[in-house]
Amino acid sequence: MRIDLKKSGPVLVFFLFLAFLYVNGFSRTDQSSDFSDYYEASRNFKQSKDLYSLDALSEVVKEFESGKLKIDQIFDPEVFFRVKAKIENVGSYIYPPTFAFLLIPISGLPFGVASGIFFTVNFIALILSLLLIGKLLGREKSFLFLSAVLLLSLRFVENHQNNNQVGFLLLLLILVSVSVKKDWLSGLVLALAIVIKITPAAFLFYFLYKKRPMVIVYTIIFALGWIALPALYNPEFTWKMNQTWYDLVLDKYLKSPALRAWKNNQSLNSTLAKYFLSYSDLLNQARFGMPFITLTVSQVKIISATLSLGIAGPYLYRVYKGASEGFVLSGLFFFSIIFSGISWIHAFVFLLFPTAFVLSKLWPEQGQPLLIWEKWKSKLIEYRSATIFISISILVLLLNRSFIGNIAEEVILMFSFLLYTSLIQYVCTFYSDRTS
* Model pLDDT, residue 211: 94
d(CA 64, CA 278): 10
Mean pLDDT on 404-429? 94
> For residue 116, what pLDDT is reported?
95
Count of Cβ atoms closer than 10 Å to residue 29 Cβ: 20
Task: Give the pLDDT confidence score for residue 133 in this predicted structure.
Answer: 96
> What is the C-alpha separation between 223 and 217, in angstroms, rounded?
10
Let me know if 182 is exposed, middle or buried by CB neighbors in 10 A (0-12, 13-18, 19+).
exposed
The pLDDT of 92-119, averaged and rounded, is 91
Position 436 confidence tier, pLDDT thresholds 50, 70, 90: very low
Count of alpha carbons within 13 angstroms of residue 14, beta-carbon side = 22
Higher confidence at residue 9 or residue 231? Answer: 231
Across the chain, mean pLDDT equals: 86
pLDDT in the model for residue 1: 44
Taking residues 126-141, what's their average pLDDT? 92
Query: Which pLDDT score, from 0 to 100, does residue 202 have?
Result: 95
Report residue 5's pLDDT band, with 50, 70 and 90 as the boundaries. low
**pLDDT value for 81:** 47
Nearest 5°: the CA angle 232, 236, 240 is 115
What integer is the mean pLDDT of 360-378?
71
Averaged pLDDT for residues 24-51: 88
Per-residue pLDDT for 264 more than 90?
A: no
pLDDT of 376 over the 70 cut? no
Task: Check if the beta carbon of residue 162 is closer than 8 Å to that of residue 28.
Answer: yes
Task: Evaluate if residue 372 carries a pLDDT over 80.
Answer: no
Write down the pTM of the prediction: 0.89
pLDDT tens sequence across 50-99:
877 655 555 666 666 666 665 555 555 555 545 554 555 555 778 889 99
Name the least confident of 120-124, 179-183, 405-409, 425-429: 405-409
Q: What is the pLDDT of residues 195-211, one digit of tens each?
A: 999 899 999 999 999 99
- pLDDT class of 118 with cuts at 50, 70, 90: very high
Position 127 scores a pLDDT of: 96
| pLDDT for residue 13 | 87
CA distance 219 to 226: 10
For position 246, what pLDDT does the model report?
Answer: 83
Are 296 and 282 in contact by the 8 Å Cβ rule? The answer is no
The mean pLDDT of 305-322, rounded to a whole number, is: 94
Largest Cα separation within the chain, whole Å, is 77
